[in-house]
Structure 1
C-alpha cells in the first residue's frame, strides 16, 4: 500500500478519495480543488501493489475480479476522479511506469493479417445477439451518434448520424456503395432505403453477418443490400462511394498505407469515401492495456497526424474533416444507462464478472471522451477535386430535405 499511497498523494489535486486497505486501515487523499468524493476498498495487499505498478491494466482487472469495490460512488465516478486529475491524454508519469515494457508487446500486436483480424473481431462482436439488443438502438448502431440537441434520444441521434454521413457522401440514385465494417447492417439498410442506392456491406463477424442478412429479408431490402463475410483487402470490384464507420480503429498502424491504397483502387474516378473513426487530440500512444486485453484486441486510436500521411501517399484528396467532440460521450452515457437498466438480464446471459467488465469499459470510454482527449473524426476523401460542391451547404440541405431524420423516424 505504501507505493500506491505515495502515488495518490501526488495525484489527487481535485476532489477527495478514501481508500480502505486489505487490513481495514483508512487512507485519505484530498486535493486543494473541489471535485468528486469517493470511498474504495482494496481486498488484498497484492492488488494495491499491482495497481501502483501499472494502473492502466490492473485497475480494471481489480474491479472485474471484485478485488476493488466502492463504498461510496461507482466505477464511473472513480474513473472520472482519476482522469480529471491525470489531465490531457492521461499522460501523468505516475501512471505510466509499466508502459515501457508494454510498448513492445503493443507494437507487434498492431500487425493485423487477415487471420488475426478475423479472430480479433470475433472476440468482441460475436457476443450474444441478446446482449447487444439490450443497450443499442433499434438499428444496432455501435458507434458514435450525432446529437443536434441535448434532448435528442439515442434513436434519433443515431438516425441523425447516418443521415449526416449519407449527406457527406453526396449520393445519387442507383450508385454502388461499399460499407467497410458494416456491423449489423444498419447503415447499409439506411442508405439503400432512403437514398435509393445499392450497398455491399462487408464484415468479419459471423454473428453480425447472419443478423444483417436476416434483417435485410425482413425489411424487403435483400435486392438492394448484399452482406458478405469479407476482408476489405479482398474486395476487387469498383464502387461509386465507400463508407466506413467504426472500423478504422481495427486496421492497425502498419496497415494504414495498404488500407488507403485499397480505398483508392476500388473507388470509381468520381468516387467519394467517408471514414468515421475514433481518434485522439493527443500525440500517438499505445492502446490502453486493459482495453487491448479484454475488449478490443488489435485496436488502436490514432491522431490525425498519424492518418493523414497515408492518405496523402495513396493519392487521395482530403475534401472535408469534421471533429465530433462530446457526441460519443453522450452516446456512451446512453448505452451505460441502458446497460444498468438491464443488468439483471446481462447477468443471466453471462455473470457478475462480465457485468463489471462492461461497466468498467463503458465508464472508462465515456470519461476518456470527456476528460482525456478522445474525439471522433469524419474524414471525407475523393479522387478528384471537382466531384463535390464547393461549399459545405449541401450537407445541411440534404439532411434537412432528402434525408430528414425526424421525417424518417416518423414514417
Structure 2
C-alpha cells in the first residue's frame, strides 16, 4: 500500500502538462490542471526501486513489451518530463555513477555494426533519398527532408571554403552523400571512413554507379588507423560514438591528419549546460558505447589538441524538426517493420525517435558545428561569416 502511494506521488510530480494515468489496478488518476493531453496506461506494476534507479531503461523496456500504452503525443509527454524540475527522469542517479565503457578498435567496430548494420533496407524505409542519418539544415520552413539534408552538406562544405583539387577526409562517412557532393560539386578528392559493413558496401556501389572511381574512396577501418594527411576533415555524428575516454584522442587525431592550416568541420550531439552522458536505454538498445559530451568537454579537448576554434553554431531546433520528420516517415512503415523485425523492435524505434525529438525540444541536448583550423598561421578564411551564406544563395 505504501509503495503504491509513493508510486502515485512520483508520477504526480513527473510532468508539467495534465496527464491521466491508469494504473494496473484499473484506477485512473489525473495529474496537473486541465483536460489531459496524454493518457498513460500501466498494464503491469513496475517496481518503484527500478523506476527511480534507471527510469529510461525500465520504462523503455516496458513500452517495448507493451506493458505501457500511450494515447496522445509521446514526444510531448517526454519533453514535459524533461522540462519538469524535480522529475525522476531528470534526476537520474545513473549518470552520477557513470561506468567506464571500453572503446578499443574491436569494441568500437562491434558497437557501430550493432546499430548501423541492422540493414540498409531498414534505414531506406524512413531516412529519405539522401540516406543521411544526422541533423538536417532547414534554410526555409518548407524545405523537404531531402533538400534540408543537402542544405546541411553544403553548409558544412561551404564553411570549409574548400579549393578544388584538394583532399578531404570524412570520419564516420555514413552512406556517403557528403563524399559524393564534395567530389561532384566541390571538385575534392574525398575519402570516407566507416566501421559499418553495410554502409561500406552501399558507398562502394554508389561510387561505381556515379562513376566516381578515383575521386571518392571509402575505407572500412577505424579512424585511429588513418595515416595520410588531408587539407580538410569533416566528421558528422561521429564523436558521440568514440566514448568519453577517447574524446581527447579523437580531436588529436583530427589535428594530426590535417596539413598545416588545414580546416575541419566537426558536427555532433552535445549538451550546452550538461551532457546527456550515457543513457542506459540508449546504451543497451540503440547506441552501445555511446556518450554525449558537454560543449565544455569538447572545447577542452579541442584546446588540448592544439586546434583553433573558428566558429561554433548550434542547430538544436533543426534536429528536433529532422527527428519529427523521420518519425512521420517511420509511422508509415511501422506495419512493415513489425512484420520484418517484430513488435518490440518496432516499438523501440518509435520510442527512440520520439524521445530524441523530445530531448532536443526540451533543450537538454543540442547539436553543434565546430569549425576548427590547425596552426601555425592564418586560417585562410574570410573575416566574417558572410561568405558561408553568400555561397548558399
Q: CA distance change for structure 1 residues 389 and 74 in 2, over 3 Å: closer, same or farther?
A: closer
Contact 1:4 1:49 in 2 (8 A): no
In the other structure, the counterpart of 1:204 is: 195
Contact 1:56 1:289 in 2 (8 A): yes
- Give the deviation of 1:28 after TM superposition: 2.2
- Give the deviation of 1:83 after TM superposition: 2.6
Segments of structure 1 that go 5 or more residues without pairing to the other structure are 87-91, 401-411
Contact 2:261 2:374 in 1 (8 A): yes
Distance 2:385 2:325 in 1: 30
Contact 1:173 1:197 in 2 (8 A): yes
Distance 2:14 2:96 in 1: 23
Q: CA distance change for structure 1 residues 97 and 368 in 2, over 3 Å: closer, same or farther?
A: closer
In the other structure, the counterpart of 2:99 is: 107
Q: CA distance change for structure 1 residues 147 and 97 in 2, over 3 Å: closer, same or farther?
A: closer
The TM-score with structure 2 as length reference comes to 0.94
Q: What are the residue-to-residue correspondences of 1:40-51 with 2, within 5 Å?
A: 40-46=40-46, 50-51=50-51
Residue by residue, what CA displacement relative to the aligned partner does 1:144-189 show, whole Å, maximum 9, x if unpaired?
A: 0000121111011011000000101111111110000001111111
In the other structure, the counterpart of 2:5 is: 2
Q: What are the residue-to-residue correspondences of 1:220-239 with 2, within 5 Å?
A: 220-239=211-230
Q: 162-171 or 380-389: which moved more?
A: 380-389
RMSD of aligned residue pairs (Cα, Å): 1.8
In the other structure, the counterpart of 2:65 is: 65
In the other structure, the counterpart of 1:23 is: 25
Contact 1:3 1:52 in 2 (8 A): no
Q: What are the residue-to-residue correspondences of 1:269-288 with 2, within 5 Å?
A: 269-288=260-279
Q: Secondary structure at the match of 2:255?
A: helix
Q: Secondary structure at the match of 2:6?
A: helix
In the other structure, the counterpart of 2:247 is: 256
Distance 2:326 2:204 in 1: 25
Find out whether 1:338 has 2:329 as its counterpart.
yes
Distance 1:317 1:39 in 2: 50
Q: Secondary structure at the match of 1:321?
A: strand
- Give the deviation of 1:359 after TM superposition: 0.5
In the other structure, the counterpart of 1:392 is: 385
Q: CA distance change for structure 1 residues 149 and 285 in 2, over 3 Å: closer, same or farther?
A: closer
Distance 1:36 1:117 in 2: 44
Q: CA distance change for structure 1 residues 36 and 241 in 2, over 3 Å: closer, same or farther?
A: farther
Contact 1:47 1:67 in 2 (8 A): no
Segments of structure 2 that go 5 or more residues without pairing to the other structure are none
Contact 1:3 1:49 in 2 (8 A): no
- Give the deviation of 1:303 after TM superposition: 1.6
Q: CA distance change for structure 1 residues 74 and 398 in 2, over 3 Å: closer, same or farther?
A: closer
Contact 1:249 1:300 in 2 (8 A): yes
- Give the deviation of 1:142 after TM superposition: 0.2
Matched length:
388
In the other structure, the counterpart of 2:146 is: 155
Q: 380-389 or 247-256: which moved more?
A: 380-389
Residue by residue, what CA displacement relative to the aligned partner does 1:5-46 show, whole Å, maximum 9, x if unpaired?
A: 11122334x322222221212222124xx6862222111223
